[in-house]
Structure 1
Amino acid sequence: MISLRARFLFFIIRISGLKNYLLKPGNAEKYVARDHARGPASPVRWLRKHCDIEKSEINGQPLYHLGPKKNGSSLHIFYLHGGGYAFNIVSLHWHFIKKLIRKTGASVTVPIYPLSPENKWDRSYAMVMEAFEQAVSRHGAENIVVMGDSAGGGFALGLSQMLRNANKLLPGKLVLLSPYLDQTAADQTQEELEKTDVLISIDGIRRLGSWWMREGEDPAMFPGSPLFETVDRLPPMLVFAGSDEMLLADSLRLKRKADEIGAEIELKIYDRMQHVWMLLPIPEAKTALSEIVEFLLAPKV
């Protein structure tokens, strides 16, 4: 049963009208412009107090490395934030990263990758690939978990597929949180899921996808839409989705692709949950965090 806190929070999001506001011509562009002018959120106070934070740059883009001052472990999390590839990292992401560090003692790399619509997938992937290779040289690929929420989840999958295709070292594990994997919103079930999703629309997904792709490119191409690339020879993967979010369709299709070839993907679907609910201050998120931590700390078979 859905918690009262989650029910209340989703109700507030619904009545805020944000979903419909972003559908009006020009509104999404204005919203993105304001976000870009404001810039990315900085690590929250707990992280500044309890972690050694190194900030560097790759081609002018910020790159954070956080290591706990006490009780650190060999585990390293390479975290890719969500936001439709167009929006900056926010405090909610940093608070989630804080929880991961507190629970596991992991160090964390956070690339602040170039955003659309000014930048396309090729420039962002180039920056993230270089950041990952730096993390490998520092921590060892086998100790790295690539994790991301929403667009960051799609980025995490696409990065791993790109590494595999190039015969490069792969991370030890993958964690995808409400992953955004298909820029075309092509699944027929998404028309029904759109009715229960309080935040995301089919038109919104397609608009964001058009910003992410270069001129003339098919939005179904890899790596823009990693769902359409093969999922064989990838690390063990844990995927979370909510039953009421539009992107549930992406996770279900990913799971079906994996099952067809025997790839190792575990999908957890939480009843009545919305997009990226794992990051929200609700009881269901605490349960998901426990499952994520268990997966992170479990020895790789």
Structure 2
Amino acid sequence: MVSVRARMFEFVLPLLGIKRFFSQPDRMDQRIAKMRRAKSPRPGKSAHREFAIREDSSRGYSLVTLEPLERGDVSGIHLLYFHGGGYVMDIAALHWEAIVELCRQAGMSASVPIYPLAPEVTVQTTLPAMRALYDELAQQHGAENIAIAGDSAGGGMALALAQDLARDGIAMPGSLTLFSPWVDASASGEGMSDIDPYDKMLSPQGLEACGLRYAGGLELQDTRLSPLFGDLANLPPTSVFVGTRDILLVDARRLRERMGAAGSPPELYREADRMQHVWMILPIPEGKAALRDAATFIKSAHAGTAT
């Protein structure tokens, strides 16, 4: 049964203009320029009551770190979270609320990079910068204690980073959590057009336009942009969450299939009926339940008990 609040959000989401942004790629650069003039949000006041929050810009981008003030329930897990937004949009207030809730549920600290956005900066710069950040955090916390997570484009970045680590034989994180992951920058998956009328946020043509801006001249099938086509073996314990009214359902299903063929299927795959894109971070009962499930998965994976 879909909650009343989730049904209400189906009506509210179009009013936010996200679908319009993705449905009119010819106006995308103009709208991106307008977005750049907006202030980048940070964790709300309530988060400061539970976490020591610091921001450091010494790496060429801002890195926000959250550390629980109450030490009693700290798990020792450190979350590295990549926000979504088609690689062209800044982090949103809803991201911070979800990150704080994940940390609260799993007793985690967190690092959240406000990574450089496309088209000003492309994958050739951004992904190596995130790899350098991972290397730094792994040295500080221990690779096995790092939980990588991301939503939408951030999910694609998280998977591409994990593949980069596996390719180089680097110690892997303890878990990988993907919310509505965008793992094919070309938006070429069969069936997207069938879901498009029900998706209140994304459109295939807009995803492709964002992919081109992030690519910086690379082919859209390049695995740094489209990790769906990369090596999916030897990944850490992985969970995938997606909704059936999200055009990225196509990506999630292909990812599950290809991971299975590589011998390492997701240890948790959650496909929620009638849920929209990134429903896990929306303030709806289903979203709150998904964050609880993700936190439980992360704790189990880091304890070596994920199934």
TM-score normalised by structure 2 residue count: 0.93
Partner of 2:51: 51
Contact 1:56 1:62 in 2 (8 A): yes
Deviation at 1:211, TM superposition (A): 0.3
Deviation at 1:27, TM superposition (A): 2.8
2:304 paired with 1:300: yes
Partner of 2:258: 257
Percent identity, please.
35
Deviation at 1:204, TM superposition (A): 0.5
Q: Secondary structure at the match of 2:205?
A: helix
Deviation at 1:19, TM superposition (A): 1.7
Deviation at 1:196, TM superposition (A): 1.3
Query: Residue 167 of structure 2: which of 160, 165, 168 is its match?
Result: 165
1:108-147 to 2 correspondence within 5 Å? Answer: 108-147=110-149
1:38 & 1:179 partners in 2: Cα distance?
26
Deviates more, 1:78-87 or 1:4-13: 4-13
Query: Residue 99 of structure 1: which of 93, 98, 101 is its match?
Result: 101
Deviates more, 1:242-251 or 1:128-137: 128-137
Aligned length: 300
Deviation at 1:95, TM superposition (A): 0.8
Partner of 2:195: 193
Q: RMSD of the alignment, in Å?
A: 1.5
1:118 & 1:17 partners in 2: Cα distance?
22
Contact 1:235 1:264 in 2 (8 A): no
Deviation by residue 1:248-280 (Cα, 9 ceiling, x = unmatched) = 000000000111132041311000000000001
2:24 paired with 1:24: yes
Contact 2:257 2:265 in 1 (8 A): no
Q: Secondary structure at the match of 1:38?
A: coil
Which amino acid in 2 is paired with 1:93?
A: H
Partner of 2:249: 248
Deviation at 1:16, TM superposition (A): 5.7
1:212-231 to 2 correspondence within 5 Å? Answer: 212-215=214-217, 217-231=218-232
Q: Secondary structure at the match of 2:57?
A: strand
Which amino acid in 2 is paired with 1:136?
A: A
Which amino acid in 1 is paired with 2:11?
A: F
Change (3 A) 1:22 1:244: closer
Deviation by residue 1:176-198 (Cα, 9 ceiling, x = unmatched) = 00001101111121110112111
1:244 & 1:226 partners in 2: Cα distance?
22
1:45 & 1:15 partners in 2: Cα distance?
26
Q: Secondary structure at the match of 2:49?
A: helix
Q: Secondary structure at the match of 2:240?
A: strand
Q: Secondary structure at the match of 1:126?
A: helix
Deviation by residue 1:23-71 (Cα, 9 ceiling, x = unmatched) = 3354322221122222421222122232122322354201122110113
Deviates more, 1:19-28 or 1:261-270: 19-28
1:21 & 1:185 partners in 2: Cα distance?
16
Partner of 2:62: 62
1:77 & 1:176 partners in 2: Cα distance?
13
Could you list the runs of 4 or more consecutive aligned residues of structure 1 that deviate by over 6 angstroms after TM superposition?
none
Change (3 A) 1:90 1:18: closer
Query: Residue 288 of structure 2: which of 264, 286, 289 is its match?
Result: 286
TM-score normalised by structure 1 residue count: 0.95
Which structure 2 segments of 5+ residues have no match?
Answer: none
1:243 & 1:22 partners in 2: Cα distance?
19
Q: Secondary structure at the match of 1:63?
A: strand
Partner of 2:83: 81
2:293 & 2:104 partners in 1: Cα distance?
15
Partner of 2:233: 232
2:48 & 2:132 partners in 1: Cα distance?
25
Deviation by residue 1:205-226 (Cα, 9 ceiling, x = unmatched) = 11000001022x2101111111
Which structure 1 segments of 5+ residues have no match?
Answer: none
2:181 paired with 1:179: yes
Deviation at 1:12, TM superposition (A): 2.1
Deviation at 1:21, TM superposition (A): 5.1
Contact 2:22 2:202 in 1 (8 A): no
Q: Secondary structure at the match of 1:37?
A: coil
Deviation at 1:22, TM superposition (A): 4.3
